[in-house]
């Protein structure tokens, strides 16, 4: 039979990273947390947070221009810091996708359950979650190129609905008129703006997903860096614009309404465009979360595939089905893992607890991966300084600024100590890393 194995284009890789971030879903779910700290200056948190992520993205882009090896950050830090550091970095990123996907399915299930109730349909959360898992698994079996095309179409539809709502708010002049007060920077507001950046960084999580599929990409050393930088800039512009519209829509003197809202986009749609548009924004939020989950599933499968190919995990995970154009066994494994994780927390504790717990683990792990990549780029360019242009900028200034920007949200999530169960998250990650060290030692011993 003829293979369907085709290389992905720039548009395909853009689709992967863009839909992984899921801008519509992020704006529906995370802005209230940012507003809690930054208040009406929420857009400034997104500006500064976007700059921080752009610095991190630049580190990813620099390493992506040097290697297109399988396994994303595993390949990067293997080249920069050696096999052990490369494996641990890839091992942590695998955790991000394995638990992050479980959190994403909980969130998508919650959104879909609420949407169905708008039409008078009551459905079991477990039935919705498991049905969605199977359907998206089958779509991903069509191959990453096809799946990325479908994800992009879904997210573009969601963005178009979001744009209509934002346009309606601006046409009505918001609650108290259009002005630039949300962008006014004052020293007394800096602490709150800084605290809001923690949640802004979470909004951008997923920009690096295209790196996990570099081996399936045309001209990856050019395509992947361009994808990373373009995605971050495009999404940052969307986040800044929509966060501004949310502040204007609620009104500067009614920011508490935004902070306490469970569905800020739904409120704006209902207030400025009517009930039908409120239903449409619920549709947009739901399909955006589904598109994001589909991308996470693929990224998780490719990380399992990479570690299987390198013999750190069972060799069967490292097999690639050329007819299906996908790592079939790895994808099937990630499906089973997501089902087990969802049943483990989603059924006894509910979708919100499952989302919070799994995303708490994924969020801290993301920060650890980002910092390790920044350290890797410094080490790599220090060795290559004789052959690489602008080493001081690429190998010192950019990664150091990125690490400084990332340390703030990292420390803020560790101290003061959060309440249970989030207080045990750091320990779970440490245990997972120790297991990774044992896995590496065993594989190393077998090779010798």
DSSP, collapsed to helix, strand or coil, labels residue 75 as helix
Confidence of residue 5 (pLDDT cuts 50, 70, 90): low
Query: How confident is the model over 105-127, as a mean pLDDT?
Result: 89
Compute CA 108 distance to the chain's CA centroid, rounded to the nearest angstrom: 14
Is the backbone of residue 186 left (phi > 0), alpha (psi -120 to 50) or beta?
beta
- Residue 73 vs residue 7, higher pLDDT: 73
Q: For residue range 215-240, what is the model confidence (pLDDT) as tens digits?
A: 888 899 999 999 999 999 999 999 99
Is 27 part of any domain?
A: yes
Element (H, E) at 215: none
Q: Above 80 in pLDDT, residue 386?
A: no
User: Residue 433 and residue 423: Cα distance in Å, rounded?
Assistant: 17
State how far the Cα of 52 lies from the Cα of 152, in Å rounded to an integer. Answer: 25
326 beta partners = 321
pLDDT of residue 448: 61
Q: How far apart are CA 313 and CA 304, in angstroms?
A: 8
Q: Is residue 1 part of a domain?
A: no
pLDDT in tens, 430-440: 999 999 999 99
CATH of the domain at 248: 1.20.1740.10
Quick one: pLDDT at residue 3? Answer: 46
| CA angle centred on 187, ends 181 and 193, rounded to 5° | 70
What is the pLDDT averaged over residues 92-114? 91
The predicted pLDDT at position 97 comes to 93
Residue 71 predicted with pLDDT over 70: no
Q: Does residue 225 lie in a domain region?
A: yes
How many residues comprise the chain? Answer: 448
For the cut 90, the answer to whether the pLDDT of residue 29 exceeds it is no
Which region holds residue 424: left if phi is over 0, alpha if psi is between -120 and 50, else beta? alpha
Q: How is residue 408 written in tokens?
A: 């703030």
Q: Which residues contact 156 (CB under 8 A, 6 or more apart)?
A: none
Domain count, the chain: 1
Place of tokens 């242009």: 389
Q: Is the pLDDT of residue 4 over 70?
A: no
For 17, 144, 210, 347, 427, the CA distances from 148, given in Å and listed in that order, are 9, 6, 10, 30, 35
pLDDT at 1: 40
Q: What is the pLDDT of residues 352-376, one digit of tens each?
A: 888 888 988 888 898 899 999 999 9
pLDDT tens column, 389-427: 889 899 999 999 999 988 877 887 777 787 777 788 889
Long-range residue pairs from 267-270, CB within 8 A, at least 24 positions apart, any chain: 268/165, 268/168, 268/169, 269/165, 269/168
pLDDT at 188 over 90: no
Residue 192 falls inside a structural domain: yes
Tell me, yes or no, whether 33 lies in a domain: yes
Range with the largest mean pLDDT of 86-90, 147-151, 193-197: 86-90
Whole-number Å distance between alpha carbons of 72 and 77:
9
- Convert 8-50 into a string of H (helix), E (strand) and C (coil): ECHHHHHHHHHHHHCHHHHHHHCHHHHHHHHHHHHHHHHHHHH
End-to-end CA distance of the chain: 40
The pLDDT tens digits for 296-347 are: 998 899 999 999 999 999 999 999 988 877 899 999 999 999 999 999 998 8
Torsion of CA 305, 311, 312, 315, to 10 degrees: 60
Domain span at residue 424? 10-447
Q: Is residue 332 part of a domain?
A: yes
CA distance linking residue 342 with residue 334, whole number of Å: 12
> Tell me, what's the pLDDT at 2?
45
What's the pLDDT score for residue 160? 94
Average confidence (pLDDT) over 251-261? 88
Residue with tokens 């050329």: 322
Residue 3 lies in a domain: no
Residue percentage of the chain with pLDDT more than 90: 51
> From its phi and psi, is residue 22 left (phi > 0), alpha (psi between -120 and 50) or beta?
left
Residue 143 lies in a domain: yes
Give the pLDDT band of residue 292 (cuts 50, 70, 90): confident
């Amino acid at each position: 039979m003829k293979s369907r194995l085709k290389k992905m284009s720039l548009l395909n890789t853009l689709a992967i990273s863009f839909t992984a971030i899921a801008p519509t879903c992020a704006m529906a779910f995370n802005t209230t947390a940012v507003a809690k700290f930054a208040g009406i200056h929420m857009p400034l948190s997104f500006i500064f947070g976007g700059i921080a992520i752009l610095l991190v993205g630049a580190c990813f882009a620099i390493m992506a221009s040097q290697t297109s090896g399988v396994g994303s950050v595993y390949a990067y830090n293997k080249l920069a810091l050696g096999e052990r550091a490369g494996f641990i970095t890839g091992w942590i990123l695998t955790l991000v996708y394995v638990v992050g996907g479980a959190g994403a399915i909980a969130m998508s299930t919650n959104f879909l359950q609420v949407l169905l109730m708008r039409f008078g349909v009551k459905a079991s959360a477990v039935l919705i979650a498991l049905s969605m898992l199977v359907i998206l698994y089958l779509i991903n079996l069509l191959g990453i190129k096809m799946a990325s095309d479908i994800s992009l179409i879904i997210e573009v539809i969601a963005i178009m609905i979001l744009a209509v709502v934002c346009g309606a708010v601006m046409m009505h002049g918001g609650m108290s008129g259009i002005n630039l007060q949300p962008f006014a920077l004052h020293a007394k507001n800096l602490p709150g703006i800084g605290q809001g950046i923690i949640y802004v960084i979470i909004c951008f999580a997923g920009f690096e997903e295209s790196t996990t599929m570099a081996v399936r990409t045309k001209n990856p050393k050019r395509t992947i860096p361009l994808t990373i930088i373009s995605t971050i800039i495009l999404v940052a512009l969307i986040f800044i614009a929509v966060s501004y519209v949310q502040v204007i829509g609620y009104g500067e003197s009614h920011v508490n309404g935004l902070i306490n809202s469970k569905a800020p986009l739904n409120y704006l749609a209902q207030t400025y465009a009517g009930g039908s548009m409120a239903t449409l924004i619920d549709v947009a939020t739901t399909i955006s979360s589904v598109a994001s989950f589909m991308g996470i599933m693929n990224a998780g499968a490719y990380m399992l595939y990479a570690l299987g190919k390198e013999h750190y995990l069972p060799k069967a995970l490292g097999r690639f089905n050329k007819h299906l154009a996908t790592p079939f066994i790895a994808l099937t494994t990630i499906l089973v893992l997501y089902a087990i994780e969802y049943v483990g927390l989603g059924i006894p504790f509910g979708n919100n607890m499952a989302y919070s717990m799994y995303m708490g683990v994924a969020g801290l792990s993301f920060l650890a991966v980002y910092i390790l990549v920044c350290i890797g780029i410094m080490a790599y360019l220090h060795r290559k300084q004789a052959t690489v242009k602008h080493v001081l900028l690429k190998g010192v200034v950019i990664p150091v600024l990125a690490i400084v920007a990332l340390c703030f949200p990292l420390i803020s999530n560790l101290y003061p100590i959060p309440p249970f169960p989030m207080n045990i998250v750091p320990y779970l990650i440490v245990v997972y890393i120790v297991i990774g060290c044992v896995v590496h030692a065993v594989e190393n011993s077998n090779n010798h």
